[in-house]
Structure 1
Amino acid sequence: MLTDLLGYLLRIAPGLTLVTGCLLLTRRQRDPLLSIVLLILGFVLIRDAMTPLGLWRLGTVGGLAPWLRFSTDTALLAALGVATLALTATVLAGDRRLRALVPRQRPDLAGVGLGIAGAALAAGPVLAIASHWPPVDRGGTVAHSAIPVILFFCLAGNLFEEVLFRGLLQSRLAQLTSPVRAALLSGLFFGACHSFLASTVTDLGWPLLAFTAWEGLVCAFLRLRHGLTPAVLAHGLAIAALATGLPW
């Protein structure tokens, strides 16, 4: 695990160093929009670098439905999940401009229910299509003992992603345009930020972009109508469903 983790950190270190330098230069700007975009670029680097290192595998079945499988090293996934939570806390604690954009909300049962419904809406069509193929054609089966760790990793990783796209970007855009247009921009930009993953890092193409744009829109409108918590749950549970092949 330590060898894989070190290799991953060394791989992303040069790019993150440049992103961090740019962030330091933007700290004194009153408008945090450039800082938000830089953070999103940093996240794209962190996410897409998982592919060549084998921390996840992605594919499609029938050229239609994307699937993904994470590393079988659950200790590594747990460590990355904890690191992502720490990164989220560090980003928000280090910049009050960003912290002020994240909506304050206490999780409740209604939010949990909306998050589960959002996950079903986002991942359901993909899982329904993929179910027509045997597990060996869509990444293989996942050990039941690994599912809790995968769930934790997905929720932790997608918490950071939702804080960036829905907590920061969508909130700032809503100050510049209408809330509905801000939600549309947040959702579609989220899909666009998977372009390199779909077209250069892998060759999955439009199925991955279609799914991520749809998922982004579901999460964006959950954030618009019901706050950040349902969006985080919908995103994390949808990715966990794809990563395990199990319905939620």
Structure 2
Amino acid sequence: MKIESAENIKKKIAEKDEEVRKIWEELRAGKEKPREEIIAELKGIKRTTGQHPGGLLITLPDTDIQKYTPLNYPADNRHFLSEIFLKVDILGHDEPTVLQKLFQLTGVDPSKISFHDEKIMSLFTNADTLGIPEFGTDFVKRNLLTPLKPTKFSQLVQISGVENKNAFIATEYIRKGKWEKLPDNIKEEMKSRLSDREGELYFSILSKIKYIFPKPHAIAYTMTG
């Protein structure tokens, strides 16, 4: 009985592996084909540019929303819908669940962690925040954390949001791209809480962005971040 060399056996195994790979690729391509066809058909359709995928318009019972607007109507076009319908945003908040899971895995109670912990704050001071919700994006690290180098929790809140009294006035102007028309007294109040350098940078950012949190919202995000 002829015994094959180890080299020939390896070669045959490699050939079989290649055959299996090709079969798998054919099966995968067949499975993905309907999806690819749908994607091809959807190309070019206008997409919503709203911030929240869970934005809902509340209509009267038995009312078809398509009587008022097509489903693919761009969100940034001016139209009458926001004036005649109630809009609510249903947002997902994963952070509490993540914190609970981490508590179970590590035994460290997140409610016992100090907001003044120097090791934790050093992550924000050094912009070493990859993976930290709300602070880990390149935009936040490059435009906020790196130049401002926050060393206190209160500074993180200040970066993220403004005082409750004027927050909603400011957010409306900022959201509509009308920062330059925001009343001077509100700008002065915001600026009074910052140094000249911080104020100049902060105002420069506010003139370019489309959204800013009110302070309670900012505190909630900063705490879970």
In the superposition, the TM-score normalised over structure 2's length comes to 0.25
Q: TM-score, normalised by structure 1?
A: 0.23
Structure that is richer in helix per residue? 1
- Which structure ranks higher in relative contact order (CA pairs < 8 Å, sequence separation ≥ 6)? 1
